[in-house]
């Protein structure tokens, strides 16, 4: 803001000049004191000039008793999990009141490096959505998988200087931190002046103390109440997430008390386009928290001012003088029915519909990223060396898994799926460098009776992951993903039956929001028709290759015992 703009803002605040806009007769959600106050909101340019008895303006909008709250801030989200081009992502979330997001663009970076993250930020320019970058800290997340890129300390140092960079993204490689590995410590030291996000799944006691002492400031991986309480006691910001796969809100809400709520954030982490369109983004999490008994104003505080203070986002998180006029208007605190969304003083959403251009453009160089070394069906076979085999067991509603074992079915000297016991085959195929690496194992919890599901979304390195009953269906699904240069595929009896192309880095669609939702619905319906019992099977599938979440995972290098942070030998 230059001196002339500042002078005008001051004079409007004093009532010496007319405001550009007055939101009159409003009930204003004060996120500083947790109160709701009556009054008018005077807007000057992009900012709020004042709250009170303002009447003189170029335009007056009668709120007729509706609530005015600051725009919601999603303090931890992976935009890529929506499978949407960033313009279409904005179409989905902005009209629902999410006007700022904090993201590490970790997924695109694992495929295309920091150049991919920079391109995403470029594509976001001009959108009515503030996109703040937490520079991805762990690309690859671990040495236990093959990633498409590698981001070192020098890269991080450069990216921390970018205009939208505000800190260091989730530090997943906690063994490297606890083991004082030089590269990990250098990354932390470079980012100590800003926020450093954590990823402390399973850490407790002295290990948690050491992790926090290293400069970590937050954690979004709490799944049980005791974890959240311990982290709050050690000074971490606790991000309570409720997304498509990770549903921790009900379990963690008891940690939110009068003494702790100011250190708690509501976040999404990962949310599919389908869920965004149906339930919303942070607005949906706020509504669910209210339904579970959280005070509505407190829920709004946890999605606005708390996030702004956590990440030092000046000008966001409150309806107050000098703050940006990024606002949401709704008629009911309990229902949070978003009527209007303002971004820096202009209407950008009305009744759930966007009031801005969201054309899909650019991103050409992010395509053609799927490179698979040709392989045959024999590469998916598991020799029956032992009748007792390790099994990855899905935990419903969570992204953690159980480390199980089972006496397996054997045919012609090979381990085969056992649909009666819900034990299926799982494979991860490296797709960045055509190395030919293929990890094969068993998984329990999908319920498939026939067919296969494949995806190029496989956190964090995003190789191709496939689950199935028959090897030929698994191969057919993988071949379709490769042909589409990324996407989701469902196959049965050796043939494709449904697909969702994701040609941008194998992660994102170039189609409009509604088309992507329809295609996702088609592949999920096809999966259900094959017997799948999971509500979001592709979302669950995408996390089975993530070797930083307990307990057992599969990467292109093989089975990973996450608790020991090593490949399983058997």
Residue 389's SS3 state is: strand
489: which 2 tokens? 């595929």
What is the CA angle 390-392-393, rounded to 5?
Answer: 120
What is the CA angle 517-392-271, rounded to 5?
Answer: 25
Give the pLDDT score at 362. Answer: 66
Tell me the sheet residues that pair with 28.
37, 68
Please list, in sequence order, all residues whose beta carbon lies within 8 angstroms of the beta carbon of residue 325, skipping any fewer than 6 positions away.
21, 41, 43, 46, 47, 48, 342, 344, 345
Q: What is the 3-state secondary structure (H, E, C) of 148-201?
A: CCCCCHHHHHHHCCCCCEEEEEEECCHHHHHCCCHHHHHHHHHCCCCEEEECCC
Give the pLDDT score at 65. Answer: 96
Residue 14's SS3 state is: coil
Cα separation, 199 vs 92, in Å, equals: 27
Check: CB of residue 464 under 8 Å from CB of residue 428.
yes
**CB-facing half-sphere around the CA of 505: CA atoms within 13 A:** 31
Give the pLDDT score at 364. Answer: 75
Please state, in angstroms and as integers, the Cα–Cα distance from residue 337 to each residue in 150, 279, 288, 352, following that order: 43, 12, 13, 9
Please state, in angstroms and as integers, the Cα–Cα distance from residue 267 to each residue in 69, 92, 248, 346, following that order: 18, 16, 10, 25
**DSSP H or E run through 100:** strand 98-103
Residue appearing with tokens 């074992």? 405
Cα separation, 570 vs 567, in Å, equals: 10
Closest-CA residue to 351 (of 25, 49, 94, 82)? 94
Give the pLDDT score at 505. Answer: 96
Cα separation, 543 vs 555, in Å, equals: 10
Give the pLDDT score at 361. Answer: 72
Burial class (CB in 10 A: 0-12, 13-18, 19+), 338: buried
Taking the whole predicted model, whether its pTM rises above 0.85 is answered as yes
Residue 60's SS3 state is: strand
181: which 2 tokens? 């590995």
Domain boundaries 73-309, CATH class: alpha beta
> What is the DSSP code (8-state) at residue 504?
B
Query: For residue 293, is it left (φ>0), alpha (ψ between -120 and 50) or beta?
Result: left
CATH 3.20.20.140 residue window(s) in the chain:
73-309
Residue appearing with tokens 């012609």? 412
The pLDDT profile of the chain, 570 residues, written as one tens digit per residue, is 899 999 999 999 999 999 999 999 999 999 999 999 999 999 999 999 999 999 999 999 999 999 999 999 999 999 999 999 999 999 999 999 999 999 999 999 999 999 999 999 999 999 999 999 999 999 998 889 999 999 999 999 999 999 999 999 999 989 899 999 999 999 999 999 999 999 998 899 999 999 999 999 999 999 999 999 999 999 999 999 999 878 999 999 999 999 999 999 999 999 999 999 999 999 999 999 999 999 999 999 999 999 999 999 999 999 999 999 999 999 999 999 999 999 999 999 999 999 998 877 766 789 999 999 999 999 999 998 888 899 999 988 788 899 998 999 999 999 999 999 999 999 999 999 999 999 999 999 999 999 999 999 999 899 999 999 999 999 999 999 999 999 999 999 999 999 999 999 999 999 999 999 999 999 999 999 999 999 889 989 999 999 988 899 999 999 999 988 899 876
Cα separation, 342 vs 327, in Å, equals: 5
């Amino acid at each position: 803001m230059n001196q002339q703009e500042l002078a005008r803002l001051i004079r409007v605040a004093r009532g010496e000049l007319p405001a550009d806009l007055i939101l009159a007769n409003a009930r204003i959600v004060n996120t500083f004191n947790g109160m709701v106050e009556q009054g008018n909101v005077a807007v000057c340019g992009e900012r709020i000039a004042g709250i009170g008895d303002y009447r003189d303006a170029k335009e007056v909008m009668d709120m007729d008793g509706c609530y005015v709250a600051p725009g919601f801030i999603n303090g931890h989200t992976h935009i890529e999990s929506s499978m949407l081009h960033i313009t279409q992502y904005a179409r989905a979330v902005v009209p629902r009141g999410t006007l700022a997001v904090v993201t590490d663009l970790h997924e695109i970076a694992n495929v295309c490096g920091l150049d991919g993250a920079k391109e995403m930020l470029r594509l976001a320019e001009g959108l009515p959505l503030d996109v703040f970058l937490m520079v991805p800290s762990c690309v690859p997340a671990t040495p236990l998988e093959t990633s498409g890129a590698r981001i070192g300390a020098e890269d991080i140092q450069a990216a921390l200087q970018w205009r939208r960079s505000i800190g260091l993204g989730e530090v997943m490689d906690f063994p490297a931190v606890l083991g004082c590995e030089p590269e990990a410590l250098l990354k932390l030291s470079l980012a100590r002046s800003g926020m450093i996000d954590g990823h402390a799944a399973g850490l407790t006691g002295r290990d948690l103390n050491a992790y926090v002492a290293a400069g970590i400031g937050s954690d979004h991986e709490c799944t049980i109440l005791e974890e959240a309480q311990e982290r709050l006691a050690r000074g971490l910001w606790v991000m309570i997430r409720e997304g498509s796969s990770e549903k921790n809100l009900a379990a963690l809400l008891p940690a939110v008390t009068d003494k702790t709520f100011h250190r708690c954030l509501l976040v999404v982490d990962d949310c599919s386009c389908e869920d965004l369109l149906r339930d919303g983004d942070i607005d949906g999490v706020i509504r669910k928290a209210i339904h579970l008994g959280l005070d509505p104003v407190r829920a709004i505080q946890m999605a606005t001012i708390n996030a702004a203070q956590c990440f030092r986002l000046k000008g966001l998180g409150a309806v107050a003088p000098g703050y940006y006029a990024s606002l949401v208007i709704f008629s009911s605190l309990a229902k949070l029915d978003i009527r209007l969304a303002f971004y820096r003083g202009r209407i950008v959403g009305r009744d759930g519909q966007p009031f801005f251009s969201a054309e899909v453009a650019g991103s050409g160089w992010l395509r053609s990223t799927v490179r698979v070394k040709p392989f045959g069906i024999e590469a998916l076979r598991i020799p029956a060396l032992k009748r007792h085999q390790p099994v990855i067991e899905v935990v419903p509603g969570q992204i953690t898994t159980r480390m199980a074992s089972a006496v397996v079915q054997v045919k012609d000297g090979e381990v085969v799926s056992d649909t009666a016991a819900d034990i299926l085959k799982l494979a991860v195929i490296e797709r960045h460098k055509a190395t030919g690496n293929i990890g094969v194992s068993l998984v329990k919890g999908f319920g498939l009776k026939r067919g296969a599901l494949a995806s190029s979304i496989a956190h964090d390195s995003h190789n191709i992951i496939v689950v199935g009953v028959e090897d030929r269906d698994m191969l057919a699904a993988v071949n379709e993903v490769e042909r589409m240069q990324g996407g989701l595929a469902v196959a049965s009896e050796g043939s494709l039956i449904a697909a969702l192309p994701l040609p941008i880095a194998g992660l994102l669609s170039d189609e409009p929001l509604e088309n992507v939702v329809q295609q996702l619905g088609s592949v999920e319906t096809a999966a259900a028709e094959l017997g799948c019992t999971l509500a979001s099977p592709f979302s669950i599938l995408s996390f089975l290759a993530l070797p930083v979440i307990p307990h057992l995972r599969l990467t292109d290098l093989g089975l990973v015992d996450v608790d020991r942070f090593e490949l399983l030998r058997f």
